[in-house]
């Protein structure tokens, strides 16, 4: 299942330092964190009125070079023990009963991911890049696609080519993931300042039109 059509010089990209991207992340990381501080009281109230549990959800995910970090999100699901099989990833399905009503709104508008601006400032993530998957999902897809590891040659992003193309939400479908991986590897190979600006614009547009394909 290797994606032979997208050739990537992993070593070169891994060691590449893009000053414009670092400056971009720092600037918008600060702007995003300021927006987070403004919205936090209102979103926190909505979450607390909807479900018992913490406002912020932390989950270990794999980033650059496969390094594990705590990824932050506003909690959108009721707190419960993971009773899923340890063999397969615990993904969120469409119309998942674990998601409370206000959480559905947060997911639909992408507001649940605003706390990840803190991850950007910490250096765990970039503004644009392949989305970081939970550790179990990474392990699962690593066994399916020989090229999957190439995603770790860059920092994961708040948004990316796959997300801007409507490829979002949990999936265990091989063909769906193949398309997402193609998008990720295409971005890694062709990333540029202009491309990042375009993907940010498309992401903001999808948020404003509630066309995020989230579930």
SS (H, E, C) 149-180: HHHHHCCCEEECHHHHCCCCCCCCCHHHHHHH
Q: What is the pLDDT of residue 132?
A: 94
Q: What is the pLDDT of residue 215?
A: 59
H helical segments located in 51-173? 101-109, 116-122, 135-142, 161-164
Q: What is the pLDDT of residue 59?
A: 93
Rounded CA-CA distance 38/31 in Å is 11
Q: What is the pLDDT of residue 113?
A: 94
Backbone angles phi, psi at 55, to 5 degrees: -75, -45
DSSP state for residue 110 in the 8-state scheme: T
What residues of the chain score a pLDDT lower than 70? 1-5, 81-87, 93, 212-215
3-state secondary structure of 148: helix
Q: What is the pLDDT of residue 39?
A: 96
Say what the pTM is. Answer: 0.88
Q: What is the pLDDT of residue 83?
A: 52
Torsion of CA 120, 124, 130, 133, to 10 degrees: -120
Average pLDDT, the chain: 88
């Amino acid at each position: 299942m290797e994606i032979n059509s997208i050739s990537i010089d992993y070593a070169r990209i891994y060691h590449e330092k893009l000053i414009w991207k670092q400056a971009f992340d720092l600037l918008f990381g600060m702007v995003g964190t300021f927006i987070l501080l403004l919205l936090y009281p209102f979103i926190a109230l909505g979450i607390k009125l909807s479900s018992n549990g913490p406002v912020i959800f932390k989950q270990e995910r794999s980033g650059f070079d496969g390094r594990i970090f705590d990824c932050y999100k506003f909690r959108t699901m009721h707190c419960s023990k993971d009773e899923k099989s340890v063999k397969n990833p615990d993904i969120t399905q469409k119309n998942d009963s674990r998601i409370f009503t206000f959480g559905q709104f947060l997911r639909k508008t992408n507001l649940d991911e605003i706390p990840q601006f803190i991850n950007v400032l910490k250096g765990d993530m970039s503004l644009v890049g392949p989305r970081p998957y939970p550790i179990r999902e990474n392990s699962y897809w690593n066994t399916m696609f020989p090229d999957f590891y190439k995603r770790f040659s860059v920092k994961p992003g708040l948004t990316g080519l796959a997300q801007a193309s409507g490829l979002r939400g949990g999936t265990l479908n091989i063909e769906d993931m193949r398309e997402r991986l193609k998008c990720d590897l295409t971005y890694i190979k062709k990333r540029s300042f202009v491309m990042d600006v375009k993907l940010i614009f498309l992401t903001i547009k999808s948020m404003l039109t509630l066309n995020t394909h989230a579930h």
